[in-house]
Amino acid sequence: MRVVWSASLSKEVQQTPVVLQLLDSGNLVLRGEQEGDSGTYFWQSFDYPSDTLLPGMKLGWDLKTGFERRVISWKSADDPSPGDFIWAVERQDNPEVVMWKGSSKFYTTGPWNGLSFSAPTTRPNPIFNFSFVANEDELCYTFSIKDKAVVSRIVMNQTTYLGQRFTWSNNTQTWDLYSKAPRDECDTYGLCGAYGVCIISKSPVCQCLKGFKTKSGGYMDWHEGCVRSKALNYSRQDGFIKFTELKLPDANFSRVSKSVNLKECREKCLENSSCMAYTNSDIRGGGSGCAMWFGDLIDMRSFPDGGQDFYIRMSASELGMKGEPTTKIVVLVISAVALLAVVLISGYLIHKRRRNIAETDQENEDQNIDLELPLFELATISNATNNFSINNKLGEGGFGPVYKGTLVDGQEIAVKRLSKISDQGLKELKNEVILFSKLQHRNLVKLLGCCIHGEEKLLIYEFMPNKSLDYFIFDQTNSKLLDWSKRFHIICGTARGLLYLHQDSRLRIIHRDLKASNVLLDHDMNPKISDFGLARTCGGDKTEGNTNRVWLYGTGIC
């Protein structure tokens, strides 16, 4: 008998017979005769990914045994021997996934931030769940599929130098490309050198960070990177500049302290002359933990739609904290004090007048208006949205920005912060909230409550995790994820919501701005019509009426 294939067993076989079985997941397992007990697997193909990573496979380390699972490209399309490219999890204090070309780094994902890697290719989305486990037993990345009807795989391609994620199309019976890494020039590892940042929308794509300059002062090889415009003091006189929307740099020379908050992290970094930058190691719940970088910062790029805040050490003179001429400082201080005095006096007089008027109006309104929806405290909403952080911003419409928030009980919310330029008054706002609290339908976005605090007017809605319909149907890649059964389900749900507004609700409401971006999708891809604020109000038996405009554009009540 000639042996054509053999494998190392993960545990000793102490029972017979044994069974070789291909599971529905694609995992080929050698197990005991008793089916269903993964603890009896003597060997499984999921421990040896080759050039392909399937849902449920682990990429990374078994820290108890030291066993590593890596994805390795084939040498060619018809030669399965190991090629030049490797996907692997870096076993370090601040782990990340790295694509190697031979012994050189080719691409990095950036460190895991609690929700995804710093690069947005693994950002939470309606199709995939991504997870990263880092504990005493293992250090690994894996993904799963939310919709069991979707079939997907990741392939490390030797020819195209890409890690490609494919989904299977039943319509064309082909594998469609869903995403790839690297995606563009800016994903090339270390393209812009130390303290350089890659901005794909600019030419050249490499730019020096604020406070840094090119070494030569002109055209250069960007691999040389940038140097500081002003040298550090390497003392507590230094400070930090906050950079936003960044992919975090190579985490090889970073350290993590999970029990330290951001304020304490700043102090720890300031005390260590080798610390060049810091940020939260986990961005969930407003941020926690401390990640500090030591040495040059390499492999940064701008991500306007999903980067992270990053605090880079700067000299006091760069920040304008010290070293200004005495005369200039005196003039600035006197001017500031004088301006402050004028502002305070003017503000006091205006506030006193407004308070006298508001107290009378508020007493009358509070006696006659009984809101059916909860009134949220501004502090509650501010805490839920991380003080209306740019990282929580979902978008912005004609009447103000919308933020994602999480209440203390874990409920996710969407907060519409109405612009101060709106001519909507307090009385009109309360009347509208009372009116729309009576609209209840499974295919309408639910208004959870409001917040009125001074000039702040906030509307709190249920959060829709799968964004809006236009995110799918107008995107060449995402549109392939909606088969006709899902599309028909969304069409029917939208029609039911419109029927309720037009016919079955207490008021006849005609939606004047129904479009794909106003059809939101919940966790189960159920459609919810949004932006159905008032444009006209009149009696239920009328077709026209004298009405006042309000700030929510989109519908009329007839």
Active site residues: 513
Answer yes or no: are the C-beta atoms of 46 and 30 closer than 8 Å: no
The residue among 439, 414, 554 whose CA lies nearest residue 497 is: 439
Q: Classify each residue of 14-42 as buried b or exposed e, where b means 16 or more C-beta atoms within 10 Å of its C-beta.
A: eeeeeeeeeeeeebebbbbeeeeeeebbb
Radius of gyration (C-alpha) of the chain in whole angstroms? 29
Rounded Cα distance between 396 and 239, Å, is 32
Rounded Cα distance between 106 and 198, Å, is 15
* Chain-centroid distance, C-alpha 480: 22
- Residue 547 DSSP label: -
- Report the amino acid identity of residue 126: P
**Lateral strand order in the sheet of 28-32:** 18-22, 28-32, 43-44
Phi-psi domain of 467 (left: phi exceeds 0; alpha: psi -120 through 50; beta: other): left
CA 66-69-71 angle, 5° bins: 150
The residue among 239, 243, 242 whose CA lies nearest residue 315 is: 239
Token pair for residue 161? Answer: 């130098």
Rounded Cα distance between 13 and 15, Å, is 6
As to burial, measured by CB atoms within 10 angstroms (0-12 exposed, 13-18 middle, 19+ buried), residue 221 is exposed
DSSP 473-501: HTSTTGGGG--HHHHHHHHHHHHHHHHII
- Residue 123 has a CB neighbour count (10 Å cut-off) of 14
Rounded Cα distance between 154 and 272, Å, is 41
CA 381-386-387 angle, 5° bins: 70
Bridge partners, residue 221, by sequence:
none
Rounded Cα distance between 307 and 301, Å, is 9
Rounded Cα distance between 199 and 44, Å, is 43
